Structure 1
Amino acid sequence: MIFLKPHHNRIYLLALLGLFWFANPLWSQGSETIDEKLAQYFKEYTTYKNEGKIDKALDILDEARKLSENSLNEKGTIDTYNRFALLNLQRGDTTNAEFFLARASKLLEDYKSYPSGEGFYKYVNARLLYNSDLNFQAIKSLEEAKTLSNDRNLLNNMLLLEGLIFINIEDYEKAAVSFNSLIVNTDDIEKAYLTARAHLGLADLNIRTEDYEESIKNGLSAIALAKANNFSIELLQATEYLAKANELRQNYKLALKYKESIVEIKDSIFTLDKVKAETNKADKLAMEEAKTEINRQDERIAALSESANRSEITAILTSAFLTIISLLAVSLYRNNQIKLKTNDLLQTKNKELQAARDAAVQAMEAKTNFLSTVSHELRTPLYAVTGLTHLLLEENPSANQKEHLKSLKFSGDYLLNFINDILQINKIDADKLEPSSIDFYLKKILSEVIDSLQQSAKQNKTKITLNYDDEIPQHLMSDPLKLSQIFINLIGNSIKFTKNGEVTMIAKLVKKEEENVTLYFEVKDTGIGISHEQQQHIFDSFEQGSIQINREYGGTGLGLTIVKSLLGLFDSEIQLRSQEGKGSSFFFELVLKSKDDIVDDIPFEMEQKEYDLNGLHVLVVEDNKINQVITKKMLNKRGVSCDIAENGLEAIDHANRNQYDGILMDIHMPGISGVEATIEIRKFDRETPIIALTAISLDDSLETFYAAGCNDVVTKPFKPEVFYQKLGENFFEHKQKKSAS
């Protein structure tokens, strides 16, 4: 940009002075009053700048600029330009910072009797050089600034900048002196801000010198000051230093906590709308200042035209033309900068979101793998506990021993149910559970659930009632196993919290549209009820209302979580009505398919058969020695003889050389797995029944077992009656058919 010669500027200013003497009421207030007003503006600007409220700081500076220019207060105008440059530097906008710094420099050339303003200019220039990594040039500019100003606040800010420069050039001793001097500063304007910045400088310095304990102390001090004074940028920087220091100190839990806080703080500070608003406002003010300069040029052209100074008019026209071209270029450049900043911010946000998503996925996978492994590893020793307990109970123990064994059996069953609950939730969370669609009779399912819970109800002296709508179609299509789990958890939960009362299971037909049937289910009780506050969290994992309730009634607090998760598979949602001391009601609706055209050829109620297993000879494939002993004893008690194979290869060899009535195949074994062994056996033996015995994990799929050639699956640890029933259905029935043929 081209400026007039200094003497022309002075003539122009004197002319304007004459006009403003009569026209501008501000001039009549006196320069002292204007200086006081400007000082107040600058104080407000400093507060907004330190709090990160850039848009408000820009507004205040604009007011200061208008006041100083309208009152022909050159000092005020220089101070305003310097602060505009400093504020744009804080925003990271070097272009606008250089523009305003150039305006200040031009005025200082014409107004040479203002050393304090020149000192501020040198300080801002040092900041600009520091940002450009020109550290030694920045130090030189600071040294010049110190000789020009004795303003305490400015000198303190110079001291802070010196400390930052010394860190950059790795002169840590001098940096520490600068920062420690500011820790105890007595600045009238920015005491808290300068102290916070000094603690941040020391926190950075401590990390570089590997003094992580001191870095954490300084970081915490900076955070305290930042929170107390709304210093948002300083709060972010302190949190970043604390995250880094704790990570280097191997305190990963705290480091993660601070890293999570960093994302939250950034989201609150750096928003697209805020960046756009600040950039637009800063650009607008720069454009207004440039337009003001053009207007000045126009006025001077008019004045010079009267004196017929054509050569100078040409120069001024050229200057104005270049100014306009510069404005257009700056405008285009700034628009491009806004786009670049917006894109950069979007990319940063996308990277942060992607990193958060990846971390969440990794955490979920880690949790899934951990629970899957733990549940499987727990099932194996638990099989020994439950199996040995069953065997000991069948060996006529004394009354005292029987009592202890029953307690042991109860504990084993409780632990097994807990493992099953965790595995169930884990499967749902990992999207490894999908509802099947098979024909079933709802009333039979509900009756079986109630029958299985009658013993628990009797212990609590509680009555269970089934209120069933006979209008519900007999043949429905859905997943009866998962529905049973839902009803078992809901009714079991109500029984647990209801003593000397009643639990009612309600099933009603809401509507039927062609094949779609909408059913209403409700489980209500007369138990202890749930407070309004506890209802907000009752469906969360491990929540039972309170610690006292957990101690008194026991349980894992996973039942209702499982219900909520399972209903989600059916696109349904559990709802609750409850009042303390007056009971609770859990209800939901399900949309199922009905098959009314199915004929009842086979009755739903099928009695379990008692099988005589005596004389059967089976192969037990099991790598665990204790499990071998238990399985063998359980078989021998029913007259079943067996051979033992300790791995998949032995199982294939035994099956190839011998005839068995059935094979009990463990799935998880060293070497080849039970699935692989089954596939190999089926290559030469398609007839012998194979039952998979597995401590089933999250990654196990029943379909995989059946596809390999297994006839049935029994999960370990199992109930003895279930185990014997499966042996009868598969091994005994096969032997009978084989003998008949």
Structure 2
Amino acid sequence: MCERRARLRAERLLEHARMELTAANQRLKAHAFSLSDQIIEQRAELQDMRSIAQELEGVNTQTAQELRQAHCVADLADIRLREAIETITDGFAVFDSAQKLVLANQAYLSIFDGFSEVTKGIGYNRILEICAYEGLVDLHGTEPGDWVQSMLARWALAQIKPHEMHFTNGVSVRLMDRRVPNGDYVSLVRNITRSLRYQAQLIDAQTQAEAAVQAKSVFLANMSHEIRTPMNGVVGMADLLAETNLNNEQRIYAETIRNSGQALVTIINDILDFSKMDAGKMDLYPEDFDLEKIIHEVLTLLAPAARGKSIELILDYDIFLPRHFKADPGRVRQVLTNLIGNAVKFTETGYVLVRAVGVHKSEQAQLVHITIEDTGIGIAAEHLEHVFSEFQQVEDATNRRFEGTGLGLAISKRIIELMGGSIWLESELGVGSCFGCSLHLDLAADAGHSFPPPLPSALHQVLLVSDHLISRSILERHFQSARVKTLTATQAAPALRLLGQHKIDLVLIDQDLTSDDAAQIAGMIEQQAPGCPAIMMCSAMADHAIPAGAGGVRHALPKPLLWRDVAVSICATLTPEQPATHAQPTLAVPLAPRNPAPDQKLLTVLYAEDNATNRLVFSKMVQGLDLDLHFAVNGREAVEKFTELRPDIIFMDISMPEMDGREATRHIRAHANGRSVPIIAVTAHALKEETEKMLSAGMNGTLTKPLRKADLLDAISRHSPAP
């Protein structure tokens, strides 16, 4: 029993031990599985770590390669920068914020050859001291210490200004310094030696060019004087010869000489004007003038040339356009003479129409358009852009029919532009041309319209006999503005029919009718309507052979017509008992009669002139006047004769031996009795500045050679003392 119990207890213990062993095995197995899982996980982590390590090792290798490549690029850039800086011909340097040299190219350092301390790390102040105290820089009398301080103070400025330095070896530089944001200084030393040398050469060339221009001007002025002096004899004598009794052939010769001489004088004037424009010395001299009168005077001047070709000259001045403006009338006249003269020259038949209209008006100025229309040869389209160029001619030089320098239009264009205007051209080959200019003209103080005198109240209906459409329409427009009805006819039969059908107060007859004779029409009108007054419009007053009152013709009007003259003539025709107060006075020289009264003395005239031909021309021009004429051959003799004669008027040549005209004028003005005597300069110098010198010397006016008789008589009339 005991054994059994012992056995059962042993079995139970064995079973319990077996169970514990099984449990321990289970735990050991679970722990083994756990360790296995940990090992697997750690192996995976280790593998990941190895992968990361391998990746990092690749990144480090790439970074190291990139870093080595960046160092290479930086080294290459530094080499290139240094090479680029070295290739700069100008000096280049960099200083740090402490003004110590960081780098500099050879061009900068070459100035300091022989000074080994000028290298990296040297201070800017020490560089300045070497320049100043070692005599490298021309200090222009400044003390070296003061110069160094001024240069250091320059770098202390907020904005460092450029500075020029001149080294004693002949090199000149311009310092251009900048302060960069990190405090460093960058200095560029520009070598300006060649620039200064070139600038000096330019100044020298400019001086020589100005001297050449001055010499050219003096040469042209002298040549003008030398040519005008003999031309005074040629033109003056031809003018006097034309007034004598000549047959037709002789008169043609005399007029040819005169016209050729005047053409030569015109060429001289063009060359002088072009020379002044080329030198930029043309000035304007504004004064009050009558624009309508100037246009009419130019047309009148060109009327003989137009009459020789049967060209109708027509003036159409806007009724509502003021007449009085302020500008340079001489230059306006010159432009008009060139443009209208060209129109007459290049027109063989037809008409030349000058039209002036106002485009825009303000309180002080008026925009005026002046057009010159002709029926001439016209200009081809390919030549239009060259017309206003210098020395240009529309015709080929080998077959040219019209002479000229080719300067007139170029000069006109420059004058118009100088006056602030513009000039243009429209043309068609074989049809004609239209030149136009636009000017802003200041209104004169009395710039009212200055209307012509009102037409007589008895004038209600006018018969206009003319076959020129444009001239006829212009007159009709003026009559319409005066509330006068106009009937027109182009031939005798229609004119006589209208005369029988209507009450006509006045007849205007154009002398240049195509199909009928104007004088015969005047006679027919007188027969059909006795007492009906008529006015003849004549292109050639010398050909108007109808005596006053014959054929009913009371007055003759010269063409081209000026409306104010037409109005004055109508007033004088219809109201002859009333003086025509608006009529323009004719030249009336206030001279003593040919047989003066005992208490009336002759006008004493003294003419100082060293050229015998000019003295002869002068004496012949005044031959018909009652003058006590005396001559002096130089300025000294003029002063002596003034003291002796006490002349009423003196004509003084400018260029004379011993004493010139200006000096003689000063001597006469210094005399007690010479302060009021009129002294007129007679000169071959046509330049404006020469005229100003004459007037400043005390002269009252000027006459330019070659003398024109009309100008001489006008000067005597205007400057002679009152009787």
CA distance, structure 2, for counterparts of residue 336 and residue 501 of structure 1: 78
1:472: Cα distance to partner?
0.8
Residue 685 of structure 1 corresponds to 673
| Counterpart residue number, 1:586 | 435
Shift of 1:413: 0.9
What does residue range 36-47 of structure 1 map to in structure 2 within 5 Å?
none
Between the aligned partners of 2:624 and 2:213, the Cα distance in structure 1 is: 45
Task: Note if 1:624 corresponds to 2:580.
Answer: no
1:720 paired to 2:709: yes
CA distance in structure 1 between the aligned counterparts of 2:389 and 2:230, rounded to whole angstroms: 29
How big is each residue's C-alpha offset from its partner over 1:558-593, in whole Å with a ceiling of 9 and x where there is no partner? 221222222234211212233433432222233321
**Structure-1 separation of matches of 2:285 and 2:90:** 58
Which stretch has the larger CA shift, 415-424 or 450-459? 450-459
SS of the equivalent of 2:386 reads coil
Matches within 5 A, 1:190-269: none
Displacement after TM superposition at 1:656 (Å) = 0.4
Superposed displacement of residue 713, structure 1: 2.1
Residue of structure 2 equivalent to 1:336 = 187
**Structure 1: stretches of 5+ with no match in the other structure:** 1-18, 28-65, 97-126, 135-275, 281-327
CA contact (8 A) 1:368 1:430 kept: no
> What secondary structure is seen at the aligned counterpart in 2 of 1:552?
coil
Look up the SS of the partner of 1:623 in the other structure. coil
Q: Give the Cα–Cα distance (whole angstroms) in 1 for the partners of residues 688 and 322 of structure 2.
A: 36
How far, CA to CA, are the matches of 1:85 and 1:512 in structure 2? 70
Contact 2:589 2:716 (C-alpha < 8 Å) held by counterparts: no
Which range is displaced more, 395-404 or 613-622?
395-404
Q: Partner letter of residue 336 of structure 1?
A: S
Give 1:417's aligned residue: 266
For the pair 1:376 / 2:225, whether they are aligned, the reply is: yes
Question: Once the 2 structures are TM-superposed, how far is the Cα of residue 492 of structure 1 from its aligned partner?
Answer: 1.2
Residue 648 of structure 1 pairs with residue 497 of structure 2: no
Change (3 A) 1:528 1:352: farther
Q: How does 1:527-566 map to 2 (within 5 A)?
A: 527-548=376-397, 551-566=400-415
Partner Cα separation in structure 2 for residue 501 and residue 598 of structure 1: 31
Deviation at 1:95, TM superposition (A): 7.6
Q: CA deviation at 1:414?
A: 0.7
How much has 1:422 moved relative to structure 2? 2.2
Counterpart of 2:644?
657
Post-superposition shift, 1:89?
Answer: 7.8
- 1:96-117 alpha-carbon deviations (Å, 9 max, x no partner): 9xxxxxxxxxxxxxxxxxxxxx
In the alignment of these two chains, the number of paired residues is 461
1:436 aligns with 286
CA distance in 1, matches of 2:622, 2:680: 14
8 Å Cα contact 1:666-1:692 kept in structure 2: yes
1:324 aligned residue: none
Q: Displacement, 1:541? A: 2.5
Render the CA deviation track for 1:683-716: whole Å, top value 9, x for unaligned. Answer: 2324543222111242644454445443432111
Which one of the candidate residues 83, 92, 99 is aligned to 2:89? 92
**Which residue does 2:586 correspond to in 1?**
607
Is 2:419 aligned against 1:570?
Answer: yes
Higher strand share: 2
Distance 2:398 2:347 in 1: 12
Question: Is the contact made by 1:467 and 1:506 (CA closer than 8 Å) also made in structure 2?
Answer: yes
Question: How many angstroms does 1:665 deviate by?
Answer: 0.9
Quick one: distance in 1 between partners of 2:440 and 2:654? 36
CA distance in 2, matches of 1:398, 1:89: 93
1:160-559 aligned within 5 A: 332=185, 335-337=186-188, 340-341=189-190, 347=196, 351=200, 354-355=203-204, 357-394=206-243, 396=245, 401-428=250-277, 429-440=279-290, 442-548=291-397, 551-559=400-408
CA contact (8 A) 1:435 1:569 kept: no
For residues 714-733 of structure 1, give each alpha carbon's deviation from its aligned partner in whole angstroms, at most 9, with x where no partner exists.
111111232233234434xx
Q: Secondary structure at the match of 2:443?
A: strand
Partner amino acid for 1:381? P
Seen in structure 2, the aligned counterparts of structure 1 residues 512 and 411 have a Cα distance that, compared at 3 Å, is same
Q: Which residue of 1 aligns with 2:512?
A: none
How far 1:670 sits from its partner (Å)?
2.8
2:654 counterpart residue number: 667
SS in 1 for 2:264: helix
Instruction: Tell me if structure 2 keeps the 8 A contact 1:617–1:642.
Output: yes
Residue type at the aligned position of 2:658: G
> 2 CA distance for matches of 1:401 and 1:633?
19
Distance in 1 of aligned mates of 2:606 and 2:624: 16
User: Alignment partner of 1:341: what SS?
Assistant: strand
- Give 1:694's match in structure 2, choosing from 683, 693, 697: 683
Distance 1:598 1:89, change over 3 A: same
CA distance, structure 1, for counterparts of residue 605 and residue 306 of structure 2: 40
Deviations 1:44-87 (A, max 9, x none): xxxxxxxxxxxxxxxxxxxxxx9xx78xxx9xx9xx98x99999
Task: Give the CA deviation at 1:392.
Answer: 4.0
TM-score normalized by the length of structure 2: 0.53
Q: Displacement, 1:506?
A: 1.6
TM-score w.r.t. structure 1 length?
Answer: 0.52
Q: Distance in 2 between matches of 1:475 and 1:653?
A: 45
Q: CA deviation at 1:377?
A: 1.9
Rounded to whole Å, the distance in 1 between the matches of 2:221 and 2:195 is 38
In structure 2, C-alpha distance between the alignment counterparts of 1:367 and 1:489, rounded to whole Å: 24
The SS at the match of 1:652 is helix
Note the C-alpha offset of 1:649: 1.3
Shift of residue 644, structure 1, vs aligned partner: 2.3
Are the aligned partners of 1:444 and 1:605 in contact in 2 as well (CA < 8 Å)? no
Q: CA deviation at 1:402?
A: 4.3
| Partner secondary structure for residue 719 of structure 2 | helix
Q: Distance in 1 between matches of 2:716 and 2:238?
A: 20
Identity of aligned residues (%): 30
**Contact 1:520–1:590, Cα closer than 8 Å, also in 2:** no
SS of alignment partner, residue 376 of structure 1: helix
Residues 724-735 of structure 1 aligned to structure 2 (within 5 Å): 724-731=713-720, 734=721
SS at match of 1:534: helix
Distance 1:730 1:89 in 2: 82
Once the two structures are overlaid, the 10-residue window that deviates more, 551-560 or 496-505, is 496-505
Contact kept in structure 1, 2:339 and 2:372, CA below 8 Å: yes
Gaps of 5+ in 2: 1-60, 94-105, 114-175, 454-580, 595-601
- RMSD of aligned residue pairs (Cα, Å): 5.0
Say if 1:427 and 1:433, in contact at 8 Å, map to a contact too: no
Q: CA deviation at 1:488?
A: 1.6
Pair 89,568 (structure 1): closer, same or farther in 2 beyond 3 Å: same
Note closer, same or farther for the CA distance 1:571–1:603 as it changes in structure 2 (3 Å cut): farther
| Conservation of the 8 A alpha-carbon contact between 1:427 and 1:698 | no
SS of 2:232's equivalent in the other structure is helix
Q: 1:251 aligns to what?
A: none
Instruction: Assess, with a 3 A threshold, how the Cα gap between structure 1 residues 484 and 697 changes in structure 2: closer, same or farther.
Output: closer
Distance 1:533 1:513, change over 3 A: same
- What is the one-letter code of the residue matched to 1:677? A
* C-alpha deviation, 1:471, in angstroms: 0.9
Q: Which has the larger radius of gyration?
A: 2
How far apart, in 2, do the equivalents of 1:395 and 1:693 lie? 25
Superposition deviation, residue 489 in structure 1: 1.3
Instruction: Determine the C-alpha separation between the residues in 2 that align with 1:540 and 1:585.
Output: 17
Offset of residue 417 of structure 1: 1.1
Please state whether the residue corresponding to 1:553 is helix, strand or coil.
coil
How far did 1:641 drift?
A: 4.7
Change (3 A) 1:356 1:529: farther
Q: For the residues of structure 1 that align with 2:702 and 2:318, how far apart are their CA atoms?
A: 35
1:592-629 alpha-carbon deviations (Å, 9 max, x no partner): 21535697897473322367675544222112233233
1:498·1:525 contact (CA, 8 Å) conserved in 2?
yes
SS of the residue 2:441 aligns to: strand
